[in-house]
Amino acid sequence: MTMAKTRFDLTGRVVIVTGGGSGIGKVYSTRLAEAGARVLIADLKREDSERTAAALAGAPGEALAVATDVSDEAATMRMAEAAVNKWGRIDGLVNNAGLMSTLTRRPWHEIPVAEWDRVMEVNLRGMFLCCRAVYGQMKKQRSGSIVNISSQSVLEGTPKRLHYRTSKAGVIGLTRVLAREVGADGIRVNTITPGLTLSDTQVASSDPAHLADTAKGRALERPQVPDDLVGAVMFLLSDASAFITGQLLNVDGGKSMH
């Protein structure tokens, strides 16, 4: 293998994907395992994570399903421990789990306080807990890459889901500060902001007319699909991005020129 290919190689890397049993997370888990990575599929729904892991039995890499509520500190610690017990290390974390597709689009002043709190609990607190859960092992290794999934909608101030957009804006701040705090430990932290992506869960929960309009305003005038995000995630997990940290990579077909 040439040096250039080696930099992009994920063979044998141990990567945790939260929300990895369905939607976009399922695609991340699948493509990483196909690339030879050892993937821990952490998902709130045990059946989803186990089904995805079973489907990857013949992949070049490996897959392990672990039921995980990212908003529960003990659960995130068990998630990290499972990866270390199985494979002896943690090379990457894809913080993908979050609440969005089930949220009703409504004016900000109509958002129930309990719903606001739950979105923050999962989308922001959950990300913080997962980062903290893997930190000890990554620090011990003196290496690791954390990829936090935010949203392109925060770049535009898209209305109607204020709690979701606010939580995803917080992800950007978390990424930048954390990158400075863990850089001395050899750990990198970056953010991806996907445009509205036609995952199976997004399609099932959205108005078809709304989805039909998603390509409007993009330089690349077509719908965005989960595989459009895979390259960015794999790049940030690989040695090809070894000197990149604290950065935001927007992947939306050129709708927001960030």
Could you list the active site residues? 164
Q: Are 89 and 14 in contact (CB under 8 A)?
A: yes
Burial-class residue 149 by CB neighbours within 10 Å (0-12, 13-18, 19+). Answer: buried
Residue in this structure with the two tokens 């090809």, named with its chain if needed: 240
Residue 50, both tokens:
């186990």
Q: Which residues contact 130 (CB under 8 A, 6 or more apart)?
A: 16, 18, 70, 76, 79, 93, 95, 97
Helix (H) or strand (E) holding 82: helix 73-87
The Cα 135–Cα 181 span in angstroms is 11
